Structure 1
Amino acid sequence: MTVSVWLSLVLVCMLGAMSPGPSLVVMVRHSLAGGRLHGIVAAWAHALGVGLYAVITLLGLAVILKESPMAFQIIAYAGAGYLAWLGIKSLQSKGGVAAKLESGEKTTLLEAARDGAMISVLNPKLALFFLALFSQFVAVGTDVFSRSVIVATPLVIDGLWYTLVALVLSSSRMLDTLKRRAVWIDKFCGIVLIGLAIRVVVTL
């Protein structure tokens, strides 16, 4: 794999990680409700999910998924259901930002890791990303080193991006501002998550 090809992969992965979506909502929730460490744990659990998709694509399972609409629909509907569940929880303020901040209760590290991994693994957008874009880079690298780079690049970029998000959101100045708007953050996150779930179902 040449440096120019790798830089193209880096650019594509950065655009994919930085695009707003359900993953960002989950990172915001855990960074606010649990703090910096919880946000970072959620970030790297999410990154491991990204790495999992990279490995699946590398092994050729993406081709099977692409040729089996039923398998993709199962993943898509499961992802939509999980998004809707998170949205309803946020709207009801049960485990959402407002409830955690008011009671002083923090989300556990296990909850942060679970949500970070699940929103990654069950995200149909991520599956489409690797099917449509990532596979072209898989064909370029055939040796062990190139394949390792192909898997590590999206994983590391995703983890670093959401770590940055967690660090920014957990700063004292930002946290004080967001605490005053915790209830509205809950409602907004809930609406966004349910809207994304509906969009997934409608576009299938």
Structure 2
Amino acid sequence: MSWLPILPLLGVWILVVMSPGPDFLIVLRHSAGGSRRSGVRVAAGVVTGIGVWAVAGLFGVTMLVQRFEWLYTAARVAGALFLVAFGVATIRAARKRSPQADDEPPAIAARRPGRLREWRAGLLTNLANPKALVFFGALFASLLPHHANLAMRAVTLGAMLAVAFAWFSAVAFLAGSPWITRGYGRLRKRLDLLTGGLFVGMGALLIPR
């Protein structure tokens, strides 16, 4: 099978997946505040969420949501509430954080959340944005060849997930560098307050008007 028909789609996808957003922030926070492994586990959760939305877009769930608009509205409200709640929790934890906690070795902090919770944090952060379903529906409708069979769809999905995991793993690797983790440790309270505020803002943008 030739890759040429799906190259335009992959080109757009690379630009989209590299744009900053909640997924980028959650991977960055766990990597800089914990460890590279922590960030990679969060990245795996993010990519799992991407896979869910992509599969839904590939098999026409977008049309179902467009037909029953209340489903999309409910998903947006749920996603907005999750992002706002996560942001508020991050802000509250940052305010309660003692100066001694900032000197805690990153390896200890990385063990606290637990591997499954780290993966789940990435998954839920990605799933909190139902606009992804509309995006994937539009992306596949406009750039995926109309003659694409199941094999081509599977290859396209695999390539997109590989690109996403490679990107977020690279973010985790760079953010988990010793000099970044040390800098994050010194500014952790301020950065967590900023991150929490960004999540609250992103959640507010999802609330239907």
Same fold (TM over 0.5): yes
Letter of the 2:201 counterpart: G
Letter of the 1:63 counterpart: M
Check 1:96–1:129 CA distance in 2 against 1; reply closer, same or farther (3 A cut). farther
CA distance in 2, matches of 1:64, 1:95: 43
CA distance in 1, matches of 2:182, 2:29: 15
Residue 49 of structure 1: how far off its partner (Å): 1.2
**Aligned residue number for residue 48 of structure 2:** 48
TM-score by length of 2: 0.87
**Aligned residue number for residue 105 of structure 1:** 109
TM-score by length of 1: 0.89
Check 1:160–1:96 CA distance in 2 against 1; reply closer, same or farther (3 A cut). farther
CA contact (8 A) 2:27 2:122 kept: yes
CA distance in 1, matches of 2:120, 2:172: 16
Check 1:95–1:51 CA distance in 2 against 1; reply closer, same or farther (3 A cut). farther
Higher mean C-alpha deviation, range 123-132 or range 64-73: 123-132
**Aligned residue number for residue 86 of structure 2:** 86
**Aligned residue number for residue 202 of structure 2:** 196
Residue among 155, 159, 166 paired with 2:172: 166
CA distance in 1, matches of 2:33, 2:195: 13
**Aligned residue number for residue 65 of structure 2:** 65
CA distance in 2, matches of 1:160, 1:102: 31
Structure 1 residues without counterparts, runs of 5 or longer = none
CA contact (8 A) 2:83 2:203 kept: yes
Residue 108 of structure 1: how far off its partner (Å): 1.5
Residue 137 of structure 1: how far off its partner (Å): 3.8
Letter of the 1:191 counterpart: G
CA distance in 2, matches of 1:163, 1:32: 13
CA contact (8 A) 1:54 1:150 kept: no
Check 1:154–1:66 CA distance in 2 against 1; reply closer, same or farther (3 A cut). farther
Structure exhibiting the larger radius of gyration computed from Cα positions: 2
**Aligned residue number for residue 149 of structure 2:** 143
Check 1:148–1:141 CA distance in 2 against 1; reply closer, same or farther (3 A cut). farther
CA contact (8 A) 1:90 1:96 kept: no
Check 1:153–1:163 CA distance in 2 against 1; reply closer, same or farther (3 A cut). same
Pairwise mapping of residues 32-47 of structure 1 onto structure 2 (< 5 A)?
32-47=32-47
**Aligned residue number for residue 28 of structure 2:** 28
Higher mean C-alpha deviation, range 131-140 or range 10-19: 131-140
The 3-state SS of whatever aligns with 1:80 is: helix
Letter of the 1:105 counterpart: A
CA contact (8 A) 2:47 2:161 kept: yes
Identity over aligned residues, as a percent? 25
Residue 23 of structure 1: how far off its partner (Å): 1.1
Residue 17 of structure 1: how far off its partner (Å): 0.8
Structure 2 residues without counterparts, runs of 5 or longer = none
| Number of aligned positions between the proteins | 203
Pairwise mapping of residues 149-160 of structure 1 onto structure 2 (< 5 A)?
149-160=155-166
Residue 95 of structure 1: how far off its partner (Å): 11
CA distance in 1, matches of 2:96, 2:155: 37
